[in-house]
Every structure is written in structure tokens, then in C-alpha cells.
Structure 1
Amino acid sequence: MRGTLRLAAAVAGMALPGVLLAAPAQAGPTGGDDVATRHYACNSSVVPPNSDPISATTGGTSGARIRTGSSTSCTAVGTVEPSNQLDYHCWTLGNDGATWTYLRNVTTNRRGWVRDDLLPGNGSNYACPN
């Protein structure tokens, strides 16, 4: 649901309470113009900064894969388990139309992208900067 609201707000250019959207960019990580068209490619050298002030969230869907980009076609570099501590950095829209959060699994020190529908609170509330 939150991912749908994020996408609708990004497309309409509206602000929603509790959802921070990035301003349009000159060029996103894969050449997109704004939040609604960005996608972080597999093995991208672009690593988003930690924009989310929440330092650790516990949980996640058991076995959710941490990937090298915001797509299920990207290589998995780790997993999330319900007992793991997660440090959200920011979210973006994947090429599959779903929102993805870049995070660090504090428990395993693995970093990467996880689909928001597999994360507590549907992932980060902070859009990845341009």
C-alpha cells in the first residue's frame, strides 16, 4: 500500500504526510528524471547515502533477499531474517514497479536492496537522493 502511495505521489508530484519525495533530478542512477523512473541497476557503483534517521528496525520476511540492485533479477548477496536488525537508508522505484529500500543488515553487515513489501513498515520513508 505505501509503495502504491509513493508511486502515485511521485507521478502526481504531490506530497503525502510522512512520505518524503526527492525533487526531480538532472539524471537518476540509470538516467531517469525523477523518483518515479529511477532504478538502481544490478551491481551499480552508485551507493545511496543513509538518509533515514531510524538506525535499526527488527524484522522482515524470513529469507527476503538482499540484492545488488532494485530488481529481482539482481544477484542476492544476503538475506533478512525476523530477528535481524536493519538500518534503512532510502527507497526508490524498481524496474518491476515495486518500491525497494537500500539497507544494511546490522546483524550480518550485508548491504543492498530489498523489496519494501518484505520489510517492516514497508521499508524506508525517505526517497533516495538524486
Structure 2
Amino acid sequence: MSMTIDPILGVFMNKTVMATIAAMFAVIGMALAAPASAAPKSEPGVGPLHAPCGTAGQNLENRVHADAPASGAVNQRSGTRAVSSTDCVIVGVLQPTDDARYWCWTLGNDGFTWTYLENLRTHVRGWSRDNLLDDFGSNKQCTL
């Protein structure tokens, strides 16, 4: 049986043990390097598009969500182009007890996903950031 000294651990190990340890590190390395398999809000072959200020989404989902804001009031904006959230004007505000009809979602220039929705109390339509909505917004991607 051939034995060698491991330079890192400083212990004697046979080739079978060393090969097993090397294989384990390779598997761990591949698992860490692999991208997440379940990316939220993605559809194969279609990249999300930014919605310039003044752009409406399509009513692709038509789902009503009660008490839509996750916590506090949520602004509705005229688009998602904002790198800072102040680039597109506020057209409405969802209050904590407001119900909303979700139409579709897209990706904003700020890296967040946004849902085009209608406030059922005020009937104002606009874009709201998904992480501020109770169930993270629409499940249907806009085709802007």
C-alpha cells in the first residue's frame, strides 16, 4: 500500500483516501459554482424588459390580491425605468388595506422586479416594486 504525506494536513494518507477527498472537494466546488436553479420570476428564452416612464403593462394575469402591500403604503409609479425610485412619477398609493388587480411584471433598471397593477379602491394603475407587495406581485411577465 503506497502512503504519502499530505502537505496541508501533514498526515499520512493512502491514494484511495486522497482520491476520495479530492472528489468530494470537486463535487462541493461544482455545487457552489452552479447558478441557482429556481430563479424567481423568469421565463425561458424571454428577458424581462424595463418599462419607460408612462408605459402601461398588459393585463396578462388579472388576479386580485387582498391587502396587497406587505407593510405600510406602496407607491404606484408611471414606469420602472428608475435607477433611483424617484425617476418615474408617483401616480397613486396602495394603502395597507387596498386590494390590487395584478396585470404583469417586468424588471426595472434598479434590479428589482415591478408589477403593473390596479388599485381596486381608487382604480389607479401603475408600477409597484414586487418586494413591497405581500405576495411579491404578478406571476406573468409583461411583453413590453
**Could you tell me which of 6, 30, 39 is aligned with 2:50?**
39
- Whole-angstrom CA distance in 2 between matches of 1:95 and 1:15: 23
RMSD: 2.4
Unaligned runs of 5+ in 2: 1-34
Query: Which digits, 9 at most, give the CA deviation of each residue in 1:47-72, with x for residues without a partner?
Result: 22211142343230322110000132
Partner of 1:66 in structure 2? 76
TM-score if structure 1 supplies the norm length? 0.69
Q: 1:125 to 1:76 in 2, by over 3 A?
A: same
Shift of 1:20: 5.9
Shift of 1:101: 0.4
- Whole-angstrom CA distance in 1 between matches of 2:96 and 2:77: 17
Q: Which amino acid aligns with 1:21?
A: E
Shift of 1:125: 1.2
Q: Kindly report which structure 2 residues correspond to 1:83-94, keeping only aligned pairs within 5 A, or say none.
A: 83-94=97-108
Unaligned runs of 5+ in 1: 1-11, 25-33
| Count of residue pairs brought into register by the alignment | 105
Partner of 1:52 in structure 2? 61
- Whole-angstrom CA distance in 1 between matches of 2:131 and 2:143: 21
Shift of 1:87: 0.4
1:120 aligns with 2:134: yes
Q: Kindly report which structure 2 residues correspond to 1:70-109, keeping only aligned pairs within 5 A, or say none.
A: 70=80, 71=82, 72=85, 73-109=87-123
For the 8 Å contact 1:15–1:21, the answer to whether it is kept is: no
| Structure showing greater relative contact order (alpha-carbon pairs closer than 8 Å, 6 or more residues apart) | 1
Could you tell me the percent identity over the aligned residues?
34
TM-score if structure 2 supplies the norm length? 0.63
1:129 aligns with 2:143: yes
Query: Which digits, 9 at most, give the CA deviation of each residue in 1:80-101, with x for residues without a partner?
Result: 1111010000110000000000
Question: Deviation above 6 Å: which 4+ runs of structure 1?
Answer: none
Partner of 1:6 in structure 2? none
